[in-house]
Structure 1
Amino acid sequence: MLHTVVTNDMTRLIVHYTPDVAPLMPLLTDCQTFEFEGETFISCDWTAANCGVLYSKLTEYVRGPAFDGPHFTGRFTPRPEQRLTVDLFTQNRRFYCFNGLGTGKTASAIWAAEYLRAIGVVRRVLIVSTLSTLKQVWERELQNVCPHRSRVIVRGTRDERAKRIASGADYTIINHDGVKSTFDALMKGNFDLVILDEATVYRNDTTERSKATRQLCENKWCWALTATPRPRSSMDAWGLGRLVNPSKLPKSKIAFQSATMVQVNDFVWVDRPNAMDIVLQVLNPSIRIKTEDCVSLPETSYLDFEVPLTKAQADARKQIIDQFVYTLNQTPGQTVSITNASDVRNKVLQAAEGVVKIGDDEFDQLDYSTSLDVLVNMIEQAEGKVLVFANFRGTVRRLVADLGKEFGPDAVAMAIGGQGSGRDTEIDRFSNHPACRILVATPKTMAHGLNLTMVNVTIWFGVTSDAETYEQANARMRRPGQTRRMIVIHLLRCPEDHASLKVCQGRVDYQNDLLDMVGEYTRGHY
């Protein structure tokens, strides 16, 4: 462990001279050596930058000047883990924050930006996040933390967006896909710091969104925030690495894939035993603080319920698998052809949820009474409000109608779209009106930023294989302020449901192991 001390006048950092520290001396400002009682020490400026050199090169945390200070403005007092996160943000130009859901990453990033503004390093900040969190999370938190700063959400026509970007606001907030469409205006915006929230969207480095964002972040401070950095495979780290800290990567994507994964057949790659160690080296410097390490929350139980398919669902599943065709239930004689194995799986999962997609936002309905009966029974037994997830819009709409008949239309809210779709109004009704106790939603619509501690039962009417979406969606109720034991329920009707859940849980387990390794570096410092 590195032995350090800060001088009484809070200006100099004293570090015990070791072979590991010696090569770093040229990187430390105003660095000199001196002897004391027969031992050699290094003295340098006590700055965030110097502390950052020690953390990024040696993974040794040294408390910097941002841990305390006047930059902690606003309504809330920072918790110890937030002070540590702020300190590490300010020490590293390129940084990953993998802190758990509900640990205050948003406020920490803003406080860190305010510190850099106070010392003259940063003037303008660009925040890039999911569409649903721009107002609900980021604008709200900016108001809480630094209401004296100007802020603008980039929306409207092309000209209106360009004007908002050019307005000179202290904080500019934009959605991930907006970066490409307003790229020229953003490049002229003279941003010093880019905060990338829910950064897992950049795991595929070949998309136009990733390419534009990489170019935008060049030569700028760049912080990536996500609680789920590796939702699918070790290759997810390649996209994040190229964006934030490409110097940590091997020379080619093929080399990284060969080092972390092994090919089983023409289509399948699996992680090598040492893949986690390599990913850990790539996603560095970083911080990981688990939710349960800093917030006391009740336990969560996970329950699987086997539900039989109705005859109509079973017949549809058999026809889809055997004949690669689906005969419409509501229009007898009309069929939909299925072109490949992936479409077969999707159609089977749709049938299991009681709908089959037959066109753009058009669904054919099947008898799903066995599943609906189980769902109604579970909602009746729940002590409080209930969150229900279905994978398809057609299922969500159908459940809202059927549950409305059972419990009354005022008791059910629906969320199937992003900002501007009525989603926020429906969530507000669900959150604040006692009569509204059921929210039915697609999981990706609800996967980021929302605090729904009035819920303690989440029911997956249709399970997902997407680990990031699964973890984020379940976390809507698992937030600071939750006081009741939580229950996550999976309805499983067919082998395909079981397979989706198994894939999802395997990805979650691997990701949690990786994040535990990251967390070992900072545990004990807060």
Structure 2
Amino acid sequence: MKYNPHRYQEYATARILDTPFIALLLEMGLGKTVSTLTAIDLLLNDYYEAGRVLVIAPLRVADDTWARETAKWDHLRHLRIAKVLGSAEQRRRALRSDADIWVINRENVEWLVGEYGSKWPFDTVVIDESSSFKNPQAKRFKALRRVRPFIKRLVELTGTPAPNSLMDLWPQIYLLDQGERLGKTITGFRDRYFTPGARSGHVVYDWKQKQEAEQRIYEAIGDVVVSMKAADWLQLPERIDRTVPVKMSESAAVLYKKLERDLLLEYVDADVVAQTAAVLSNKLLQMASGAVYDEERGVKEIHDAKLDALEDIIEAAQGKPVMVFYNFQHSLSRIKARFPQAQTLRKGRDGNEDIRAWNNDEIPLLLLHPKSAGHGLNLQESSCQTVVWYDQIWSLEEDQQANARVHRQGQTRRIVVMRLVAEGTMDEEAVAALERKAAGQEELMQAVKARIERVRGS
């Protein structure tokens, strides 16, 4: 296929070429992979400023997306991709292969650094979905930090740079500049821009932003961060977000309030117990969806209200495919029991066949977990116009990435995203938390948004 880049894609490629260490905050659907591959090709074959290129990505993306994109576009087909996946021996064999770009899943970054140490061979590194490096205590971050001095070019790609708070930015920016802009330690970053809030003993688990902290952070990183929003560049069809209130039965509401109050539901065979606040939150979300795990991992069914609501939505879709996101395995089991036509997305080649079948309207009801369907899936070619969140989640990143599987470049139909929210339950708290996080991230994206017209003086 001939590549006719949008102006924002030309700009993204140019910024990669001009800025050795850069973060591109490209919203889902803006074609960040082909923009980056175009820059890599130029660095390898025209400018000779890159020798060995490493791409770090989520597993499914590493296994499929980067190789598929090089095969898709005429100007990239000469690029050779080596997938550093599978067993240790398979990974080593891939590293020894003659390639232009080596792609590895993020879980194996620590292994890769251990293989090479100070003999690190990759002068150019791309981190696809850099928000997966937001935890400074994670092994993958510490490993990459060790070899950062050997990297001459680094590109970070993500649409959700701060899914929880601005605290998520420090590790990602550190990998770009080794602490030049936001400080060399997370402790120093916190002390400069935050004040301690709620704590348990000496452990602070909630930090409050200081006055004007956001503005100061944005100003500090503005030269190495470029933000682009799909709404600014693409004429996407309308996306409508709807909350669908679900009323639990009276008996279910009684059980819900009892667990919330007593942290215990007693059953003959095995009790439902919530020993911590985190466990209680999870159990209450489960109950809001209709079932809950007991102490023996058995399932206690509570109500069918969400199943009934989903049945109404499927009927209203009038035969068009419906996509449903679930978070709990018991939700998946109960949905499949009620709707035999439902199908989950399989792994590997089977999963690629499922994607083809979905995009050809051969799957009427597709059930997806946000963790496995968040990155690299193009599911916008079906006639689906209805996305349903059966279970509610806390992660803004997973929420935005999952919704963007359908509402992205190439979509021609209006999309309605429905959230089944059990009234008076933790569902309402989860949805409200996502809205607050989205507002904070929107401020970040706006603050560093690329102003192409101004930059080019046109």
In the superposition, the TM-score normalised over structure 1's length comes to 0.79
- Does residue 151 in structure 1 map to residue 84 in structure 2? no
Which structure would you say has the larger RCO, counting Cα contacts within 8 Å and 6 or more residues apart? 2
Say which of 248, 263, 277 aligns to 1:341. 277
The residue that corresponds to 2:291 in the other structure is 355
How does 1:123-522 map onto structure 2 within 5 Å? 123-145=51-73, 146-185=76-115, 187=117, 188=119, 190-220=121-151, 221-245=153-177, 246-266=179-199, 267-280=205-218, 281-282=220-221, 284-311=223-250, 313-327=252-266, 332-358=268-294, 362-382=297-317, 384-404=320-340, 409=341, 412-415=342-345, 419-420=347-348, 422-432=350-360, 434-453=361-380, 454=382, 455-493=384-422, 494-522=424-452
* Distance change (3 Å), C-alpha of 1:276 and 1:90: same
Amino acid in structure 1 at the alignment position of 2:89: D
Q: How many angstroms does 1:186 deviate by? A: 5.2
Partner of 2:315: helix, strand, or coil? helix
Which deviates further from its counterpart, 259-268 or 471-480?
259-268
Partner of 1:182: helix, strand, or coil? helix
Q: How many equivalent residue pairs?
A: 440
Cα distance in 2 for residues equivalent to 1:382 and 1:223: 41
* Distance change (3 Å), C-alpha of 1:252 and 1:152: closer
Contact 2:270 2:294 in 1 (8 A): no
Identity of aligned residues (%): 25
Cα distance in 2 for residues equivalent to 1:344 and 1:147: 52
Cα distance in 2 for residues equivalent to 1:477 and 1:397: 24
Q: How many angstroms does 1:487 deviate by? A: 0.9
Cα distance in 2 for residues equivalent to 1:523 and 1:98: 18
Amino acid in structure 2 at the alignment position of 1:501: V
Cα distance in 1 for residues equivalent to 2:41 and 2:295: 49
Q: How many angstroms does 1:80 deviate by? A: 1.4
Q: How many angstroms does 1:511 deviate by? A: 0.4
Cα distance in 1 for residues equivalent to 2:314 and 2:440: 32
Cα distance in 1 for residues equivalent to 2:189 and 2:47: 38
Q: How many angstroms does 1:521 deviate by? A: 4.3
Partner of 1:446: helix, strand, or coil? coil
Partner of 1:388: helix, strand, or coil? strand
Cα distance in 1 for residues equivalent to 2:98 and 2:145: 22
Amino acid in structure 2 at the alignment position of 1:319: K
Amino acid in structure 2 at the alignment position of 1:80: R
Cα distance in 2 for residues equivalent to 1:170 and 1:359: 51
Can you list the C-alpha shifts for 1:123-153, whole angstroms capped at 9, x where unaligned?
Answer: 2211110012123321101222422122111
Amino acid in structure 1 at the alignment position of 2:2: R
- Does residue 119 in structure 1 map to residue 47 in structure 2? yes
Can you list the C-alpha shifts for 1:94-113, whole angstroms capped at 9, x where unaligned?
Answer: 10000111111100111111
Cα distance in 1 for residues equivalent to 2:209 and 2:327: 28
Amino acid in structure 2 at the alignment position of 1:463: Q
* Distance change (3 Å), C-alpha of 1:112 and 1:402: same
Cα distance in 2 for residues equivalent to 1:359 and 1:482: 44
* Distance change (3 Å), C-alpha of 1:186 and 1:474: farther
Cα distance in 2 for residues equivalent to 1:321 and 1:124: 55
Partner of 2:391: helix, strand, or coil? coil
How does 1:32-181 map onto structure 2 within 5 Å? 75-117=2-44, 118-145=46-73, 146-181=76-111
Cα distance in 1 for residues equivalent to 2:362 and 2:71: 30
Q: How many angstroms does 1:520 deviate by? A: 5.0
* Distance change (3 Å), C-alpha of 1:279 and 1:423: farther
Amino acid in structure 2 at the alignment position of 1:214: R
Q: How many angstroms does 1:285 deviate by? A: 0.8
Contact 1:326 1:338 in 2 (8 A): no
Cα distance in 1 for residues equivalent to 2:142 and 2:222: 19
* Distance change (3 Å), C-alpha of 1:326 and 1:430: farther
Cα distance in 2 for residues equivalent to 1:290 and 1:431: 25
Contact 1:165 1:186 in 2 (8 A): no
Amino acid in structure 2 at the alignment position of 1:441: L
Cα distance in 2 for residues equivalent to 1:176 and 1:478: 26
Contact 1:450 1:476 in 2 (8 A): yes
Cα distance in 2 for residues equivalent to 1:274 and 1:502: 24
Cα distance in 1 for residues equivalent to 2:293 and 2:175: 36
Can you list the C-alpha shifts for 1:391-445, whole angstroms capped at 9, x where unaligned?
Answer: 11221232122111xxxx3xx2213x7x44954443333223x341211111121
In the superposition, the TM-score normalised over structure 2's length comes to 0.90
Partner of 1:375: helix, strand, or coil? helix
Can you list the C-alpha shifts for 1:316-347, whole angstroms capped at 9, x where unaligned?
Answer: 3233222222345xxx4421432211101101
Q: Who wins on radius of gyration, i.e. which is larger?
A: 1
RMSD: 2.2
Contact 2:379 2:405 in 1 (8 A): yes
Contact 2:327 2:370 in 1 (8 A): yes
The residue that corresponds to 1:38 in the other structure is none
Contact 1:287 1:521 in 2 (8 A): no
What residue ranges of structure 1 are gaps of 5+ in the alignment?
A: 1-73
Partner of 2:292: helix, strand, or coil? strand
* Distance change (3 Å), C-alpha of 1:189 and 1:216: closer
Can you list the C-alpha shifts for 1:33-85, whole angstroms capped at 9, x where unaligned?
Answer: xxxxxxxxxxxxxxxxxxxxxxxxxxxxxxxxxxxxxxxxx632222111111
Contact 2:355 2:379 in 1 (8 A): no
The residue that corresponds to 2:202 in the other structure is none
The residue that corresponds to 1:70 in the other structure is none
Amino acid in structure 1 at the alignment position of 2:166: S
Partner of 1:174: helix, strand, or coil? strand
Contact 2:270 2:295 in 1 (8 A): no
Contact 2:193 2:209 in 1 (8 A): yes
